[in-house]
Amino acid sequence: MFEHSQGYISPNARIGKNVSIGLGTIIYDNVEIGDDSFIGPYCIIGEPSIDYYSNPNFSRKGTYIGNKCIIRSHSVIYNNIKIGNYCSTGHHTLIRENTKLGNNSNIGSFSEIFGSVSIGDFVRIHSRVGIGENSFIEDYVYIFPYVFITNDKYPPHGNLLTCHIKEYAQIFSHAVILPGLTIGKNSIVAAGALVTKDVGDERLVMGNPARDIKSVREIRNEEGQQVYPWKEFLKVYRGYPWQQQNENK
């Protein structure tokens, strides 16, 4: 057991090689942290779910943080979480129980993952984003600041619906996605949009309520060049798998 006035590490936690743990951090039972990871100051890893407070027989489920992850200061990660390799959080990030985060994904400062969420590989969730319970986010999705993905169509009845965000989709700042919707592959949800209907693959939607405007392939930059779907045109950025493939050709 490691315990002092500046932090606590449970004797039942498993800490990998070359792990840095900051001042004041609490690491509870059944937490495993992979090699070469960094846990910043005043984090809580393995926080119990709500039934801890009413169930005297509560037992924490495992919390796993992969290799070479960065969990920045004041982040709270609940129990029953699996975080892949090379992931990172911003400061004051909250990840609730029953959530899975794939490899090479990031969650920004002051964002909240409300629980029972599946997030794929290479997903970029920026700051102050709210992801409702039961959301399913595929690989390579971009979610920009102040986006909210909701889940309860008739609150507070609690009939939670799944929002499905397909791979390579981009949801721009201040957009709101209503419960139970599908956002298609390579689609773009414009800034400030209120999405009330499913969005098709490779479609641009905008407005309040959001309207289908055109194919993303019709979008041009200032030089008149096609820029979307972004994977086809962004060849060198953030170490995506196809970047190395292109360099080796």
Q: What is the residue-averaged pLDDT of the chain?
A: 93
Residues 220 and 249 in one domain: yes
Residues 119 and 231 in one domain: yes
Cα–Cα distance measured from residue 183 to residue 201, given in angstroms and rounded to the nearest whole number: 8
Residues 103 and 132 in one domain: no
Residues 239 and 217 in one domain: yes
Residue-wise pLDDT for 33-46, tens only, equals 999 999 999 999 99
Residues 34 and 144 in one domain: no
Residues 7 and 43 in one domain: yes
Q: Give the chain's largest Cα–Cα span.
A: 65
Place of tokens 């309207």: 211
3-state SS record for 48-113: CCHHHHCCCCCCCCCEEECCCCEECCCCEEECCEEECCCCEECCCCEECCCEEECCCCEECCCCEE
Q: In the structure, what pLDDT confidence band is assigned to residue 4 with cuts at 50, 70 and 90?
A: very low
Q: Is the peptide bond before 145 cis (omega within 30 degrees of 0)?
A: no
Token pair of 126 as six digits: 């920026």
- Which letter does DSSP use for residue 15 in this model? E
Last residue of a domain, one of 50, 76, 110: 110
Q: In the structure, what pLDDT confidence band is assigned to residue 92 with cuts at 50, 70 and 90?
A: very high
Residue-wise pLDDT for 114-158, tens only, equals 999 999 999 999 999 999 999 999 999 999 999 999 999 898 888
pLDDT value, residue 245 = 52
| Full domain range(s) for residue 64 | 1-110
Residue type for position 148 = F
Residues 6 and 61 in one domain: yes
Helix (H) or strand (E) holding 232: helix 230-233
pLDDT value, residue 167 = 97
- Mean pLDDT, rounded, for 159-179: 97
pLDDT value, residue 6 = 76
pLDDT higher than 60, residue 8: yes
Supply the CATH number for residue 12's domain.
Answer: 2.160.10.10
Residues 66 and 142 in one domain: no
Strand 124-125, strand 20-21: pairing = unpaired
Q: Higher pLDDT residue, 238 or 54?
A: 54
Last residue of a domain, one of 86, 110, 134: 110
Which of 142, 134, 45 shows the shortest CA–CA distance to 94? 45
Which of 107, 44, 35, 119 shows the shortest CA–CA distance to 78? 44
Total tally of structural domains belonging to the chain: 2
Residues 157 and 194 in one domain: yes
Residues 82 and 52 in one domain: yes
Residue-wise pLDDT for 197-247, tens only, equals 999 999 999 999 999 999 999 999 999 999 999 988 876 666 788 766 544
Residues 133 and 235 in one domain: yes
Residues 116 and 225 in one domain: yes
Its pTM stands at 0.92
Last residue of a domain, one of 88, 110, 132: 110
